Structure 1
Amino acid sequence: MTNFHLRYGTEVAEALRERRPVVALESTIVSHGLPRPDNLTVARQIEQAVRDAGAVPATIGMVAGELVVGLTDAELTRLATTDGVAKLSVRDLAVAAATGADGATTVAATSAVAAAAGIRVFATGGLGGVHREAAQTFDESADLVALAATPIAVVCAGVKSILDVGATLERLETLGVTVVGYRTHRFPGFFITDGGFDLDWSVDSPELIADVLAARERHGVQHGGLVVANPLPADEQLDPELHDRTLAEGLARLERDGVTGKAVTPYLLAHFHSATEGASLAVNVRIILRNADLAARIAVAAATRQPDAAP
């Protein structure tokens, strides 16, 4: 396991010492994924959703070069309202720490830090994945490789539909990352309920997912993560026709403007927000709140089976 130098929030440190359920939360959604001032409001709602389901939220981020597991509200506000907050994947953590940066952790970095802290469940919106045209650009999210090396359960709404969903599933299989659908055998497409691909495994309760986590530990399966794909109900998704039209427009603009690398996802998400007149933002918020609730219920069930490690 990677040995990060971590500072723990008081509430999170106490919960880990007392073997109470804790859910990791990313901070990139706060600094880069949602517009101001909604980002701070939603960040607080996400933490409250975890608490309401019986677990302790541990939002992870970097403040003045310190990796923090369990940001205070003041620190959360700082990352939500300050310009120039860095977007940190695992590869960026050392440089950001050495330069005293403020940074928001991606799925990859949050997973790695959470696992090092002894947190076994992480809630996010959607995973990164293989980008369209990756055969030419080799553009693939570091989330996938990080999950291949990190023993953590990630509750998400699949991968963002702006990516190559089929190629992402193929890469997850190659990397040995287990994917299960929550009450579905179809892989969700973030904004839309059905991303167009079947899944081999489906689980129907937080308790069963906790059993899977316990079985992984019992059998020594520590080489990769567990993706819990939690789709939105069909009546809460973005209208599929609106989604497809907006995605086609966004991809055309992406090529026109020459956007590449880590700027692709925020660019396309901003286009969705504008083109759908805020409808995609409302869906995004529903996604993360539902995932936070499910992750907390998994953490509560897991705490009765195998206690978390103390910091």
Structure 2
Amino acid sequence: MPKPVIITCAPTGGIHTPTMSEYLPITPAEIARASIEAAEAGASIIHLHARDPETGKPDPSYETFSQFLPVIKQATDAVINVSTGAGLGMSMEERLRAATTASPEMASLNMGSMNFGIFPLLEKYDNWKFDWEPEFLEMTRDFIFPNTFATIEYALVNLGQAHGTKFEFECYDLSHLHNVKYFVDKGLIKPPFFIQFVLGILGGAGADLANLQHMHRMADQLFGPENYEWSVLGAGRHQMPMATQAALLGGNLRVGLEDSLFIGKGELAVSNAQQVEKIRTIIEALGLDVATPDQARERLGLKGGDRVAF
């Protein structure tokens, strides 16, 4: 029988800016509400970033995370995943600060340095709400998102080994899978582990079925299908098509306003829950089940929500 599909929801992220959608959660209360609604709609993992509540700018401080992590934990049984991606341009120390303080069940970890171009979004908007928004987007025209072997190992040791936190290994290209394999061979990544194929970011692999199939085949070859779970997120307009392809291929998937602001062509999503509900409807129409948080915990070998520090 096909395994139930694990839905991850990423409610806010660190890419989209307040001008782009009035529905993007900004304040701790908005992020908490969006996360709880997404969990109630069927997401078993919530992938979290924090923002300055006044400006919406990405904020890696635990002081901000601490305003919504306990609220989400108390209201849901969802697995809470604290991002170490934070905002582009931050140091690894800054990116890890919230996760090493919170000691969550899961955290994200980008598995290779890359060009990360979101500057094309500049062409789509005028009359910015905040001065930092266009400056932040333009910065990525001449920017490399650094995830070196040293910084990846630092996260694996100081967050993974020290806290028993498992990772959502974000792989934007084939080379990132080989980087995962390097750390598997070193014994710093142990099964079962979770690979997130990230498709459609300028600087990474494009969001098309051939790339997904190839990366999936290579992951099976590198790791053995019994040793890992895999998931797919498609950026922007590719979100729902790639999520549907993942479900059809026996994988898991991620949605949320971090990855796409839309629910359909030209139509802004009014909530994260709306996106979760849409993909859940598709999953169930395919005759598949949606995984519960406890099923996700068992398959990913997580330590349990009673062993976090919030």
Query: One fold, TM greater than 0.5?
Result: no
Normalising by structure 1, we get a TM-score of: 0.39
Structure with higher helix content: 1
Normalising by structure 2, we get a TM-score of: 0.40
